[in-house]
C-alpha cells in the first residue's frame, strides 16, 4: 500500500472515531463515496490502526455462583455471563473479572504463586495497576524450553510484578523431566530450592486448570510422551494443575509421572489463604470437578456455560 493511501485510511479513521464525523460528511470531504469510507474504516481495523474494545462491567451470574459455592464449599465464585457464543470472548470476560478483583486478594508484601498457560496469558493482558506494593510473584512449576505457542509463563509473572511494584521469580527448569531422580536433583539446586520455598510461602495462588488433551503444550513439546498420555488415559486422568495430572476425584492419576514433575505439590494448595482457579470451557469440566472435589481451590472464576455443565455433571456423579 502506498503512503498516500495509508495516510488517507488513517485520516478517515481519525475523522470518524476521534472527531465523530458521519461517514457521509467524511465522504464529501474526501471526494469519495460513502461505501468507500465504510471500506476504509474496515481496512483501518484489519491493519491494526484501529482497535475496538468493549470495557463494560462483568457481573456474576448470581444463581450459579451461589450453587457452586454451596456445592463445593468455596469462599468465592464468579460466573461471567455468556453474552455471545464465543469461548475466546467468554474467557477474556472471565479474565477481566478476575483482574478487576485482584486488589481483594493481593495486598502489600503479598507473595503470589502463579501457573502458566493460555488462560494465564489471557489474564496477564487484562491486569491493571494494583493498590498493593512490594509484592513477590513466583511460578508454581517449571516451564518449557521451546514451544510453537506462548505458554504465558513470563507474561503473567511480568504483568503482576509490574502491577504490584514487586519482584518476579521464574522457575528455571523444565516442567517435566525424564526421571524421578532428575527431578529430585533439580529440586536440590539452590535457585530451584529458593523458588520452591517462596512458592510455599505464598499467601495467594492463581492457576488455570487444563484438560487431558493432545492439544496441550506439554504434549506438543514432548514433555508428555505418547506412553505417558496412554497411561494417563488408562488411569482415568481428567486434567492437570501446574503439570500435575489427577482423576475426577482429584487423586494423582499417575504417580510415576507426578514424580517427574518439578514444582509445587497440589496438596500444598490447600494451605493457602486464597487459591484462585480460573477455567473456561466445557472440555475442562471434568478437570474442574476433580479439582473442586479435592479442594485444590477455594475461589473459582468461570463462565456461565462451563458452570452449568459443572453442576449438571457433578449431580450425575
299 bridge partner residues: 76, 276
Supply the pLDDT for residue 171. 85
Instruction: Print burial letters for 113-143: b (CB count within 10 Å at least 16), e (below 16).
Output: bbbbbbbbbbbbebbeebebeebbbbbbbbb
* Strand bridging mode 111-114 / 136-139: parallel
For residue range 159-203, list pLDDT tens digits in order. 999 999 999 998 888 889 999 999 999 989 998 899 999 999 999
DSSP readout, 153-215?
A: HHHHHHHHHHHTT-EEE---SBSB-S-HHHHHHHHTSHHHHHHHHHHHH-SEEEEE-EES-TT
Q: pLDDT tens digits, residue range 117-167?
A: 899 999 999 999 999 999 999 999 888 765 434 455 688 999 999 999 999
Q: What is the pTM of this model?
A: 0.84
The stretches in the chain having pLDDT less than 50 are: 147-150
Q: Longest C-alpha distance within the chain, in Å? A: 75
Domains of the chain: 3-46 (1.10.10), 62-315 (3.40.50.1360)
State residue 118 phi and psi, 5-degree precision.
-60, -40
Q: CB of 103 within 8 A of CB of 135?
A: no
* pLDDT at residue 149, as a whole number: 45
C-alpha to C-alpha distance for 5 and 9, rounded to whole angstroms: 6
3-class secondary structure, 108? coil
* Short-list 307, 309, 310, 315, CA closest to 81: 307
- Residue 261 per-residue DSSP state: B
Residue pair 218/224 in contact (Cβ under 8 Å)? The answer is: yes
The predicted pLDDT at position 148 comes to 38
Amino acid at each position: 500500500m502506498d503512503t498516500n493511501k495509508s495516510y488517507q485510511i488513517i485520516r478517515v479513521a481519525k475523522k470518524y472515531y476521534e472527531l465523530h464525523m458521519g461517514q457521509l460528511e467524511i465522504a464529501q470531504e474526501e471526494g469519495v463515496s460513502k461505501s468507500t469510507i465504510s471500506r476504509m474504516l474496515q481496512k483501518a481495523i484489519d491493519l491494526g490502526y484501529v482497535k475496538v474494545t468493549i470495557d463494560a462491567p462483568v457481573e456474576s451470574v448470581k444463581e450459579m455462583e451461589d450453587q457452586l459455592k454451596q456445592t463445593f464449599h468455596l469462599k468465592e465464585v464468579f460466573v461471567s455471563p455468556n453474552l455471545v457464543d464465543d469461548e475466546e470472548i467468554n474467557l477474556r470476560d472471565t479474565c477481566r473479572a478476575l483482574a478487576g478483583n485482584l486488589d481483594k486478594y493481593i495486598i502489600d508484601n503479598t507473595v503470589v504463586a502463579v501457573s502458566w498457560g493460555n488462560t494465564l496469558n489471557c489474564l496477564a493482558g487484562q491486569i491493571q495497576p494494583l493498590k498493593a506494593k512490594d509484592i513477590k510473584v513466583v511460578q508454581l512449576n517449571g516451564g518449557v524450553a521451546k514451544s510453537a505457542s506462548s505458554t504465558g509463563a513470563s507474561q503473567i509473572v511480568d504483568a503482576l510484578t509490574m502491577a504490584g511494584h514487586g519482584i518476579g521469580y521464574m522457575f528455571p527448569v523444565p516442567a517435566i523431566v525424564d526421571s524421578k531422580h532428575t527431578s529430585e536433583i533439580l529440586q536440590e539446586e539452590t535457585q530451584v530450592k529458593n523458588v520452591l520455598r517462596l512458592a510455599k510461602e505464598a499467601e495467594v495462588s492463581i492457576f488455570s486448570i487444563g484438560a487431558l488433551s493432545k492439544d496441550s503444550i506439554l504434549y506438543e513439546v514432548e514433555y508428555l510422551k505418547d506412553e505417558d498420555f496412554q497411561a494417563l488415559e488408562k488411569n482415568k486422568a481428567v486434567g492437570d494443575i501446574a503439570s500435575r495430572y489427577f482423576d475426577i476425584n482429584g487423586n494423582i492419576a499417575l504417580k510415576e509421572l507426578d514424580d517427574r514433575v518439578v514444582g509445587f505439590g497440589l496438596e500444598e494448595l490447600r494451605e493457602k489463604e486464597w487459591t484462585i482457579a480460573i477455567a473456561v470451557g466445557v472440555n475442562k469440566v471434568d478437570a474442574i470437578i476433580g479439582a473442586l472435589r479435592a479442594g485444590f481451590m477455594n475461589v473459582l472464576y468461570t463462565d456461565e456455560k462451563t458452570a452449568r455443565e459443572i453442576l449438571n455433571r457433578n449431580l450425575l456423579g
